[in-house]
Amino acid sequence: MQTQLTQLLQIKYPIIQAPMFLVSNVAMVKEAMKSGIAGCIPALNYRTLDELRAAITELKSAKVEGGSFGFNLIVNKSNVKYKGQLEVLCEEGCDFIITSLGSPEETINQAHKAGIKVFCDVTDLKFAKKVEELGADAIIAVNNEAGGHRGQLSPQELIKELIDNCNIPVISAGGVGCRADIDKMLSYGAEGVSVGSPFIASIEAGVTDDYKQACVDYGASDIVMTERISGTPCTVINTPYVQKIGTKATWIENLLNKNRKLKKWVKMVRFSIGMRATEKAAKKATYKTVWVAGPSIEHTKAILPVKAIVANLLS
Ligand SMILES: Cc1cc2nc3c(=O)[nH]c(=O)nc-3n(C[C@H](O)[C@H](O)[C@H](O)COP(=O)(O)O)c2cc1C
């Protein structure tokens, strides 16, 4: 399974354990590296820059041949810690950064000076062309089967459009839960896959057992889109609580969103409130079961160690 991604990151298999807010952690990435794949953690999973620095130090000393590690940076204004996080990543070093939401220009320039590769989340050709021009090393093509903030195009449509029009490697994100899915994405022309949801139900994940078990008990047909977390549609498991609160933004949010001056602030406040609520649902036993996951949990049959999840993906 040698591809441009395995060459870029010096990994054994063309798989990235995708960054997941609140879920990804050092323990998962260590096991990912030992399994011959890359692992990525959102920088936002660390409250302070010192905690981020400590995570990098631990991963650097745990790095083994055939594995690699990186961090995800939210590069738009909703992330007030962005500048500090970028500085720490460049000072301490990591193999790659995945950027999301916003222009990756500064990240690409700074990271490249530090010898770090930059992959950028995109959902359409226009943005892909932009990040290619800015010097991105690869594109993460987020399709309409992804968990979290998904794209609009099917895996096949998106990959084809990008490989026909861009010259950097395309890594497909979304909808991969088994070997056949990996082979399918590679046959469409992707150089690798970024896999998130199937790793939620891992022993190492830092979320409650209820959340992990829900990924086992529910399947693809239980995933719905909700605007109730951050305002931006996001995939969640359709638990009785989600059914009770509904998936549409409230009338008051819609009203505030229509006001152009207020819109930016409403978005930032909404984002922060939503993230705190999701954190409670993911990390504490609560009746407010709003759990983010994508349809690829269909293949999740048990809570397993990361190593076993990788082995299942490859078999
Ligand atoms: C629980 C969860 C949290 C996520 N958090 C982030 C995040 O913080 N940053 C990001 O760029 N993508 C995030 N994603 C998207 C993943 O990185 C990846 O693109 C997606 O999981 C791929 O789809 P899959 O879940 O079908 O594998 C998240 C996805 C999930 C399921």
Q: Is the pLDDT reported for residue 6 higher than 90? A: yes
Strand pairing of 234-237 and 223-226? antiparallel
**Residue 142 Cα: closest atom of ligand 1:** 19
Q: What is the DSSP string of 197-249?
A: GGGTTBTT-SS-HHHHHHHHH--GGGEEEESTTTSS-EEEE--HHHHHH-SSP
Q: Give the Cα separation of 276 and 166 in Å (integer).
A: 38
Q: Are 41 and 19 in contact (CB under 8 A)?
A: yes
How many whole angstroms from its chain centre is CA 118? 14
Query: Which of 15, 16, 17, 21 has the most ligand 1 atoms within 8 A of CB, as the residue to mutate?
Result: 21
What is residue 77's predicted lDDT score, i.e. its pLDDT?
Answer: 78
Task: Give the residue whose CA is nearest to atom 3 of ligand 1.
Answer: 20
Q: Using CA positions, which residue lies closest to atom 15 of ligand 1?
A: 148
What ranges do the domains of the chain cover? Answer: 4-205+299-314, 219-292
Helix, strand or coil, per DSSP, at residue 38: strand
Q: For a ligand 1 pocket test, name from 16, 197, 278 the mutation site with the most ligand atoms within 8 angstroms of its C-beta.
A: 197
Give the pairing type, strands 68-74 and 96-100.
parallel
Place of tokens 């930016």: 264
* pLDDT tens digits, 247-293: 877 666 666 666 766 666 766 776 777 777 777 777 776 777 889 99
293 lines ligand 1 (CB under 6 A): yes
Ligand 1 pocket residue status of 294, Cβ below 6 Å? yes
Q: Is the CB of 174 under 6 A from ligand 1?
A: yes
d(CA 219, CA 291): 13
Task: Tell me which residue has its CA closest to atom 8 in ligand 1.
Answer: 21
Phi, psi of 123 (to 5 degrees): -120, -5
Q: One-letter amino acid identity for 116?
A: I
* Residue 250 CA to ligand 1 centre (angstroms): 25
- For domain 4-205+299-314, say whether CATH 3.40.50.620 is its number: no
- Rounded average pLDDT over 10-23: 97
DSSP H or E segment with residue 133: helix 125-134
Give 255 Cα–ligand 1 centroid separation in angstroms.
29
Residue 262: what pLDDT? 67
What are the pLDDT digits (tens) for 157-194?
999 999 999 999 999 999 999 999 999 999 999 999 99
Structural contact between residues 151 and 158, judged by C-beta atoms closer than 8 angstroms: yes
φ, ψ of residue 85 in degrees (nearest 5): -65, -45
Q: Whose CA is nearest to atom 19 of ligand 1?
A: 173
Q: Give Cα separations from 281 to 7, 114, 236 (angstroms).
A: 38, 37, 12
